Amino acid sequence: MEIKRIVLALAIGLLGSTLRADDDLPNIIYIMADDLGYGDLSCFGQTKFETPNIDSLAKEGVTFTNYYAGSTVCAPTRCVLMTGMHTGHAFVRGNREVKPEGQAPMPANIVTLPRLLKKAGYTTGMFGKWGLGAPGSASDPVEHFDTFYGYNCQRQAHTFYPTHLWHNDKKVMLDEKTYSADLISDQLLQFVRDNKDRPFFAYVPFTIPHAAMHVPEDDHAPWREKWPQFDNKIGKYKGPDVKNPIAAFAGMMTRMDRHVGELMALLKELGIDDNTIVSFTSDNGPHMEGGHDPKFFNSNGPLKGHKRDLYEGGIRVPFVARWPGKIKAGTENDIPVAMWDVLPTCLEIAQLESPDRIDGISYLPALLGKTAEQPRHEYLYWAFYERGGKQAVRMGKWKSVRNNVGKNPNSTPELYDLTSDIGETKNVAADHPDIVKQMETYMQDAHTPSADWTFAGRKKKQQKK
């Protein structure tokens, strides 16, 4: 099978390398919120609440306005990020559960970003939600990271008051009254302190603002006072019900922004601020769960669609990055890049060669303001295997979406000109048959069939751990 050959080729490249350490290498911190929409940061137009610490990353760094998630739901985005392969080639292409805890694993010998960064002497840590292999499996996060703290299972992460989290391979039992996002942030800060004298990579997939609208009272009460008209609304998901989930969402965002501020303050306190690149983004578009109202908050900004859509609102996400002395403050970049580009970007920062046969291209030149030197994708591709099956391609200003692929794989794709129609309101496919034909070719060329992930939606039964 073609995918297995790719795994073996990458594994050979990993085994054939040698470790090296370089104290001058920059620290890399990649923060990824959960279901945060394109319009959910005040630096991206949010007006109902503010995110001053994340905004500071933008003011002191660069904002990317055409940054794309790996997928429109959790697990495949995370696989894309870890492997540099888009969802036409990725090993995990959807959310598939493992009982009693966890999701479908990646292959044991898969080459991932943290495994590669270890070759350059990086200490690696992950703090947040994994979703790519059950506890004790061949794809447990401890098989990839030196340190792990958080949720192994994204299903468990539907509540912020869980029965347990994981610290490496140890289950940490909780009283279901402790706010998990605070514990995760605390462990991230400790990891930074412990590794201040060596290069480190911190992958931080925060769980805010996903699923249940849970937040401690100190951040909930001020927003309930602001919006008492929503007090009769009850948010139901996993864990305790929430009175006024509208207020809770603003409180969650406020709390996560404070966690980012605490991280940035610690970097300065330790004297490693100038040698650390910090990025912030989201795993996909905004959700509509647990009482969250993305329409009230204009969470997808000017974009059409939400989580589980391949329209822009489901996959275009905010992105800011800060690296003092390297990234010019207050800059903006509109080059389309995607999460399968993260792996080669981090490897270039770490002075490592990228593996062969990945889909990503390093966007380090764009980060550094060297736009003329930035290689461009011929196109970007997404495949989504739920809700009838969907495909999407972006080529320059053009965006094509094909829905219900499982029922009719030869249906005519929709076509939008994003330069004049960012909201994808006018389908111009009939006016540009040549562009449509090219998009159909890309959809075919970019897609490697998988027995495990089909547009027809034939899923395997839930696996037992």
Domains contained in the chain, CATH given: 2-377 (3.40.720.10), 381-464 (3.30.1120.10)
Q: How far is CA 182 from CA 122, 128, 164, 221, 358, in A?
A: 25, 11, 14, 18, 35
- Report the pLDDT value the prediction gives residue 23, as an integer from 0 to 100: 53
SS3 at position 100: coil
Confidence of residue 54 (pLDDT cuts 50, 70, 90): very high
pLDDT at residue 395 greater than cutoff 50: yes
* Residue of higher predicted confidence among 450 and 23: 450
Average pLDDT, the chain: 93
Beta strands in 156-263 (DSSP E): 164-167, 170-173, 200-204, 234-235, 242-243
Instruction: Round the CA-based radius of gyration of the chain to a whole number and report it.
Output: 21
Confidence of residue 381 (pLDDT cuts 50, 70, 90): very high
Phi then psi dihedrals of residue 396, to 5 deg: 60, -125
The structure's pTM equals 0.94
What is the Cα–Cα distance from 193 to 200, expressed in whole angstroms?
11
Pairing of strands 170-173, 276-282: unpaired
- Report the pLDDT value the prediction gives residue 24, as an integer from 0 to 100: 85
Q: Tell me what the mean pLDDT of segment 23-44 comes to.
A: 95
Q: Say if residues 321 and 331 touch (Cβ distance below 8 Å).
A: no
- Report the pLDDT value the prediction gives residue 456, as an integer from 0 to 100: 81
pLDDT at residue 262 greater than cutoff 90: yes
What are the percentages of helix, strand and coil residues in the chain, rounded to 5? 30, 20, 50
